[in-house]
C-alpha cells in the first residue's frame, strides 16, 4: 500500500518556470519606462561612486580609501534594496495585489532596516558557506534567494524571513536555482568584464556596463525573483495540511523552534 504522505507530494503543483518568467515579462512591459529609469539611475549612481572610490581617491591614504569604499558599498546596498522594493510593488500592481505606489511612496514605506539587515545576514551566511568548501555557500545562497521579497510581501522580521525563505525554496530547490541563483551567479561576473582604469574611455565603458547594462539585468532578475516568491507562497498555501505536517516532525514532538519558523504567509 502506498504511504499516505506520498499522495500530497504527487498532487503538488509544479513551480512553473515558464509561467513565472512570462509573468515577470508582463510586469516589466506594464511599467517598462519606470523600471528602466529607476534601474539605470540606481545602478549608475552606485557605479559613479565606485569609480570615484577607485580612481579619484588616493589609494595610498588608507583611511580615505576605506572610507570611500564603505561609502560606495553603502550606497550600492541602499540602491539594491530600493530597486528590489520598487520592483516588488510593481509586481504587486501588475497582478492587482497592491494599489499603485509612486517612487516617493516606496522610499517612505520600505522596511529599510529589515531589508538591509537581511541582506547583510545573507551575505555573511553565504560567505561562511563558501569558505566551507563552496558547496554549502551555494546551497545557502539558493535557500535564501527570496528573503527580500518575503520581507516585503509578508512583512516578516529578519530571522523569520530567513527561515521562511528556506522553507519555501527547499521543496523547489532546483527550479529556484535555475530561475534565481544561476542567473545571479552569471550576472555577478559582469563587473569583472571591465576593470577599473583612470583612462576616460575605460571609465565611460565601465559606467556604460555598470550603469546601464547591469541596471537592466538587475531589474530583470528582480522581477523574476518577486514573481518567484509570489509563486512559492501560493504553492505553500496550496500544500495539503497532511503534507505540511509531514515536514514538521519537531513541532509534532513539541520541540519546534517557534511558531514563526513555519507559519503560513500573512497578508501582504
Between 207 and 123, the higher pLDDT residue: 123
Q: Does residue 11 belong to any structural domain of this protein?
A: no
Kindly state the average pLDDT of the residues 95-112.
73
Kindly state the average pLDDT of the residues 197-210.
65
Kindly state the average pLDDT of the residues 66-74.
70
Kindly state the average pLDDT of the residues 147-174.
92
Q: Does residue 193 belong to any structural domain of this protein?
A: yes
Model confidence band, residue 253 (pLDDT cutoffs 50, 70, 90): very low
Kindly state the average pLDDT of the residues 29-55.
80
Q: Does residue 1 belong to any structural domain of this protein?
A: no
Between 204 and 22, the higher pLDDT residue: 22
Q: Which domain holds residue 185?
A: 16-237
Q: Provide the number of structural domains found in the chain.
A: 1
Task: Choose the weakest-confidence range: 167-176, 195-204, 215-224.
Answer: 195-204
Query: 130: how many CB neighbours lie within 10 A of its CB?
Result: 15
Q: Does residue 255 belong to any structural domain of this protein?
A: no
pLDDT of residue 134: 80
Task: Choose the weakest-confidence range: 2-11, 59-68, 189-198, 204-213.
Answer: 2-11
Q: Does residue 162 belong to any structural domain of this protein?
A: yes
Which DSSP state fits 192?
A: G
Q: Does residue 136 belong to any structural domain of this protein?
A: yes
Q: Does residue 4 belong to any structural domain of this protein?
A: no
- Nearest Cα residue to 80 out of 119, 136, 117: 119
Between 259 and 18, the higher pLDDT residue: 18
Buried b vs exposed e over 159-190: b needs ≥16 C-beta within 10 Å?
ebbbbbbbbbbebbeebbbebbbebbeeeeee
Q: Does residue 258 belong to any structural domain of this protein?
A: no
| Cβ neighbours of residue 129 closer than 8 Å, sequence gap 6 or more | 135, 136, 137, 138, 139, 140, 141
Model confidence band, residue 32 (pLDDT cutoffs 50, 70, 90): confident
Q: What is the mean pLDDT of the chain?
A: 76
The answer to whether residue 218 scores a pLDDT higher than 60 is: yes
Which DSSP state fits 157?
A: -
The answer to whether residue 23 scores a pLDDT higher than 80 is: yes
pLDDT of residue 97: 58
CB 11 within 8 A of CB 211: no
The answer to whether residue 11 scores a pLDDT higher than 70 is: no
Model confidence band, residue 268 (pLDDT cutoffs 50, 70, 90): very low
Which among 36-50, 87-101, 141-155 has the top mean pLDDT?
141-155
The answer to whether residue 194 scores a pLDDT higher than 60 is: no
Percent of the chain at pLDDT exceeding 70? 68
Amino acid at each position: 500500500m502506498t504511504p499516505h504522505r506520498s499522495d500530497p507530494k504527487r498532487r503538488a503543483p509544479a513551480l512553473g518556470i515558464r509561467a513565472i518568467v512570462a509573468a515577470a515579462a508582463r510586469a516589466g512591459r506594464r511599467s517598462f519606462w519606470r523600471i528602466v529609469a529607476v534601474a539605470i539611475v540606481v545602478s549608475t549612481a552606485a557605479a559613479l561612486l565606485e569609480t570615484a572610490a577607485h580612481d579619484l581617491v588616493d589609494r595610498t591614504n588608507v583611511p580615505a580609501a576605506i572610507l570611500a569604499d564603505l561609502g560606495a558599498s553603502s550606497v550600492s546596498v541602499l540602491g539594491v534594496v530600493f530597486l528590489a522594493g520598487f520592483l516588488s510593488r510593481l509586481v504587486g500592481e501588475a497582478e492587482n495585489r497592491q494599489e499603485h505606489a509612486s517612487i516617493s511612496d516606496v522610499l517612505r514605506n520600505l522596511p529599510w532596516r529589515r531589508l538591509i539587515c537581511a541582506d547583510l545576514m545573507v551575505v555573511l551566511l553565504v560567505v561562511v558557506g563558501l569558505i566551507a568548501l563552496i558547496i554549502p555557500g551555494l546551497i545557502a545562497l539558493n535557500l535564501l534567494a527570496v528573503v527580500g521579497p518575503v520581507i516585503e510581501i509578508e512583512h516578516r522580521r529578519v530571522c523569520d524571513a530567513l527561515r521562511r525563505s528556506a522553507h519555501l525554496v527547499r521543496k523547489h530547490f532546483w527550479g529556484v536555482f535555475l530561475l534565481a541563483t544561476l542567473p545571479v551567479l552569471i550576472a555577478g561576473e559582469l563587473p569583472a568584464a571591465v576593470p577599473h582604469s583612470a583612462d576616460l574611455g575605460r571609465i565611460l565603458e565601465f559606467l556604460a556596463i555598470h550603469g546601464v547594462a547591469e541596471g537592466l539585468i538587475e531589474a530583470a532578475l528582480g522581477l523574476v525573483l518577486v514573481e518567484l516568491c509570489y509563486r512559492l507562497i501560493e504553492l505553500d498555501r496550496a500544500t495539503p495540511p497532511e503534507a505540511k505536517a509531514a515536514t514538521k516532525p519537531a513541532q509534532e514532538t513539541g520541540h519546534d523552534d517557534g511558531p514563526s519558523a513555519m507559519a503560513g504567509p500573512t497578508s501582504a
